[in-house]
């Protein structure tokens, strides 16, 4: 009896399942499409702008450490005891150009100069004596030459008389011996005169050698005094007064405070855009190897800002682009120069730009041609929303060249005059009806951003 009831229940359950499946199949087969909601057919009220090409200021930025343009490592070229040391010659002190910072004992070099001058005076006196000797020898040679002419004339006259028998043979021989002696005298003077130029050359060489020693002595004497060649800040001092300084010893280290420079590490993409904007046309037939001749660095505006304190800044100028890339960051290296980094005129607003300060350097240059720029927020994963002629929403892929200051510069996909939707409708369905509202204030703001205004 119990087994019959169990089978009966199974039959009823199976029959109910079959009926349910059949009803569900009928509902699906005869189902109608859902009616479009009236809310979904309503147009969207969205802000739009006209896509425009506009003048654009390209910018770049980099970071680096400040350093002086010149550093003076004072080294003793001569040995001597320190006899004078400026009382302010201490680390961190600022000293003006022309200040005597340090002096070594000059006595030995002054004595050497005096000795050399005495030797030079002796040689010059000897040279003057030789010149007198040359003049006297020339005068004697002239006189002896005239006597030789008279003697030879007399010899010729006696020789003619000898032929006529008017004079004896002994008289002729005496005159001949006198003439030969006179010739020997003239020849001796000529030989003496020919030797004198070599003596003059020897004396001149000696005088030149002594003059060289004298000049070296004067340089050694000058090397005993260390005068500031420019306005400087003392960094390190390694010598004290009365201490003996040996030749080659380091005395002190000082930095030039008239100019500072920063080697800013700039990302290559930014640097390439910036340098392309300031290229100077060159003749392809005459290649230029110096990069400074191919770029107009004066067209780049640059500013140095203290890291962490953007209100503290110094105007700067680009001087060069260093060779190679930074080995750690693979960035380009741009060198900028700051004039008067220690100027005290605005010390309350701007402190001195000291060595090893970490700074940010910003660069800007006008783009050679207008660029098509839109808000970066209007680009949605590589697409923009546009308004077609029928006021319907359209999605279109675009290529972004680069982003700067909240703007996306479009390389491909947009044309001037098209209407760009700057809102972010959710969902953004292609073909959605749109009621546009042109945002002229945003268009003006975009033009200002393109010129480098703050966001």
Instruction: With respect to residue 14, please indicate whether it lies within any of the assigned structural domains.
Output: no
Q: How many domains does the chain have?
A: 2
**3 state SS of 215:** helix
Give residue 36's pLDDT: 44
Residues 119 and 198 placed together within one structural domain of the fold:
yes
Q: Which of 165, 192, 222 is the last residue of a domain?
A: 222
What are the tens digits of pLDDT across the range 304-341? 999 988 888 899 999 988 888 878 888 889 999 999 88
For 235, the token pair is: 């960094």
Instruction: With respect to residue 365, please indicate whether it lies within any of the assigned structural domains.
Output: no
Across residues 117-133, what is the average pLDDT? 91
Instruction: With respect to residue 278, please indicate whether it lies within any of the assigned structural domains.
Output: no
Instruction: With respect to residue 114, please indicate whether it lies within any of the assigned structural domains.
Output: yes
Q: Which one has a higher pLDDT value, 273 or 167?
A: 273
Residue 244 Ramachandran class (φ > 0 left, ψ -120 to 50 alpha, else beta): beta
Write the DSSP symbol of residue 296.
-
What is the DSSP secondary-structure string of 389-449?
TTSBEEEEE-EEEEEETTEEEEEES--TT-EEE-S--SS--TT-BEEEEE-HHHHHHHHHH
Report the C-alpha gap between 266 and 361 in whole angstroms.
9
Residues 150 and 52 placed together within one structural domain of the fold:
no
The chain-wide mean pLDDT, for the chain, equals: 86
Q: Which of 177, 203, 222 is the last residue of a domain?
A: 222
Length of the chain: 455
Q: What is the CATH number of the domain that holds 131?
A: 1.10.287
Give residue 348's pLDDT: 64
Residues 49 and 153 placed together within one structural domain of the fold:
no
Instruction: With respect to residue 148, please indicate whether it lies within any of the assigned structural domains.
Output: yes
Sheet with 44-50: strands ordered across: 393-397, 383-387, 419-421, 44-50, 434-438
- Asked if 408 and 417 count as a contact pair (C-beta separation under 8 A), the reply is no
Report the C-alpha gap between 427 and 430 in whole angstroms.
9
Give residue 52's pLDDT: 92
Report the C-alpha gap between 88 and 93 in whole angstroms.
7
**3 state SS of 44:** strand
Residues 50 and 112 placed together within one structural domain of the fold:
no
Residues 52 and 141 placed together within one structural domain of the fold:
no
Q: What is the CATH number of the domain that holds 440?
A: 2.40.420.20
Instruction: With respect to residue 341, please indicate whether it lies within any of the assigned structural domains.
Output: no
Q: What distances in angstroms separate CA 319 from CA 68, 314, 333, one per listed residue?
A: 14, 15, 11
Least confident window among 38-42, 61-65, 75-79, 191-195: 38-42
Q: Which of 222, 243, 270 is the last residue of a domain?
A: 222
pLDDT-above-70 percentage for the chain: 87
Q: How crowded is residue 142: how many other Cβ atoms within 10 Å of its Cβ? A: 11
Least confident window among 3-12, 197-206, 210-219: 3-12
The answer on pLDDT for 410 being more than 70 is: yes
- Asked if 49 and 422 count as a contact pair (C-beta separation under 8 A), the reply is yes
Residues 144 and 217 placed together within one structural domain of the fold:
yes
Token look-up 């100069």 returns 113
pLDDT category at 94 given cuts 50, 70, 90 is very high
Instruction: With respect to residue 439, please indicate whether it lies within any of the assigned structural domains.
Output: yes
Give residue 120's pLDDT: 92
- Asked if 336 and 315 count as a contact pair (C-beta separation under 8 A), the reply is no
Domain that holds residue 48: 44-56+370-450
The answer on pLDDT for 127 being more than 50 is: yes
For 137, the token pair is: 């020898």
What are the tens digits of pLDDT across the range 25-61? 666 555 554 444 444 458 889 999 999 999 999 999 9
Instruction: List, in order, residues 6 or more apart from 56 with CB less than 8 Å away.
Output: 366, 367, 370, 371, 373, 409, 450, 451
Residues 50 and 121 placed together within one structural domain of the fold:
no
pLDDT-above-90 percentage for the chain: 55
Instruction: With respect to residue 445, please indicate whether it lies within any of the assigned structural domains.
Output: yes
């Amino acid at each position: 009896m119990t087994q019959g009831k169990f089978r009966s229940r199974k039959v009823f359950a199976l029959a109910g399942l079959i009926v349910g499946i059949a009803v569900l199949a009928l509902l699906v087969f005869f189902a109608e499409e859902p009616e479009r909601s009236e809310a979904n057919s309503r147009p969207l009220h969205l802000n739009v702008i006209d896509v425009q090409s506009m003048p654009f200021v390209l910018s770049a930025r980099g970071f680096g450490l400040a350093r002086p343009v010149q550093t003076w490592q004072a080294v003793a070229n001569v040995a001597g005891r320190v006899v004078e040391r400026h009382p302010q010659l201490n680390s961190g002190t600022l000293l003006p150009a022309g200040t005597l910072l340090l002096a070594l004992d000059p006595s030995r070099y002054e004595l050497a100069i005096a000795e050399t001058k005495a030797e030079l005076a002796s040689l010059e006196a000897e040279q003057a004596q030789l010149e007198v000797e040359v003049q006297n020898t020339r005068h004697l040679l002239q006189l002896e030459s005239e006597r030789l002419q008279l003697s030879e004339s007399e010899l010729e006259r006696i020789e003619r008389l000898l032929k006529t028998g008017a004079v004896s043979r002994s008289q002729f021989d005496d005159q001949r011996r006198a003439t030969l002696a006179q010739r020997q005298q003239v020849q001796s003077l000529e030989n003496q005169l020919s030797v004198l130029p070599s003596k003059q050359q020897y004396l001149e060489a000696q005088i030149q050698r002594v003059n060289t020693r004298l000049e070296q002595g004067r340089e050694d004497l000058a090397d005993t005094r260390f005068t500031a060649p420019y306005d400087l800040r003392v960094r390190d001092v390694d010598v004290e007064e009365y201490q003996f300084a040996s030749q080659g010893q380091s005395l002190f280290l000082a930095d030039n405070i008239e100019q500072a420079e920063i080697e800013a590490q700039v990302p290559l993409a930014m640097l390439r855009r910036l340098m392309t904007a300031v290229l100077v046309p060159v003749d392809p037939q005459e290649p230029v190897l110096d990069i400074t001749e191919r770029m107009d660095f004066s067209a780049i505006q640059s500013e140095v800002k203290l890291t962490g304190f953007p209100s503290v800044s110094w105007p700067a100028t680009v001087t060069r682009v260093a060779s190679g890339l930074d080995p750690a960051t693979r960035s380009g290296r741009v060198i900028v120069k700051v004039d008067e980094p220690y100027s005290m005129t605005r010390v309350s607003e701007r402190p001195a730009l000291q060595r090893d300060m970490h700074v940010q350097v910003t660069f800007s240059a006008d783009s050679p041609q207008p660029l098509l720029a839109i808000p970066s927020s209007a680009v949605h994963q590589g697409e923009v929303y546009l308004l077609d002629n029928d006021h319907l929403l359209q999605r279109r892929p675009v290529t972004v060249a680069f982003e700067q200051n909240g703007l996306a510069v479009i390389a491909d996909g947009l044309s001037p005059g098209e209407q760009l939707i700057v809102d972010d409708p959710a969902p953004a369905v292609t073909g959605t009806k749109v009621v546009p509202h042109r945002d002229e204030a945003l268009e003006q703001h975009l033009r200002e951003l393109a010129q480098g205004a703050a966001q």
